[in-house]
Amino acid sequence: MLSFLFLLLLPYWASAQEQINKRPKKEYLDEAGRLFAPALGYNAFFPTQYDQTGPFHGPAFGFELFNQTIDNDFAPAQFAFFAQFSQLQSLEQSDIRMLLVNFGGRFSFERQLSRRFLLPFFGLELGGVARNDVN
């Protein structure tokens, strides 16, 4: 009788073992990619003329033009292209303001992702600065 129950339950046991040994699906990986994800932040800027104007600080608004995370051996694990705009104000002189505009991208080449945070990346960022007191 016991061997009959064992043979009856053997397919269910094999199916359970297959599920246990299967690599878990990573639900947080969005292989389709995301477009125009918003970003909020706070920036600080220390110019070379630090003694005249002091540091600048202020809120930043940006968005990621495209962001994708892939668990693949032949592609970057995570890559993103972004734009950021900041309206900064001097700490020393409140009438001096600065607009900071940045565009860039970042790439992470880590394989076999096992986390959502603290991904090491390489990036390139280009931008410009405009101040209201300087032409």
pLDDT more than 90, % of the chain: 27
Extended beta strands in 1-135, E state = 34-45, 56-69, 78-90, 97-108, 122-131
Q: Calculate mean pLDDT across residues 17-28.
A: 56
pLDDT higher than threshold 90 for residue 42: yes
Predicted pLDDT of residue 61: 94
Q: Which residue has the tokens 């995301």?
A: 34
**What pLDDT sits at residue 37?**
84
Q: Among 12-26, 31-45, 55-69, 101-115, where is mean pLDDT lowest?
A: 12-26
The stretches of the chain forming alpha helices (DSSP H) are: 2-21, 50-53
Q: What is the pLDDT of residue 99?
A: 93
Sign of the dihedral through C-alpha 105, 109, 113, 115: negative
Distance CA 133, CA 120 (A): 38
The mean pLDDT value of the chain amounts to 78
Instruction: Give this prediction's pTM.
Output: 0.63
The answer on pLDDT for 27 being more than 60 is no
Other CB atoms within a 10 A radius of the CB of residue 79 amount to 20
**Cα(117)–Cα(123) distance, rounded to whole angstroms?**
17
pLDDT of residue 36: 81
At 78, give phi and psi (nearest 5°). Answer: -145, 135
Q: Which of 39-43, 45-49, 50-54 has the highest mean pLDDT?
A: 39-43
What does the pLDDT look like over 75-114, one tens digit per residue? Answer: 667 788 999 999 999 988 888 899 999 999 998 877 766 6
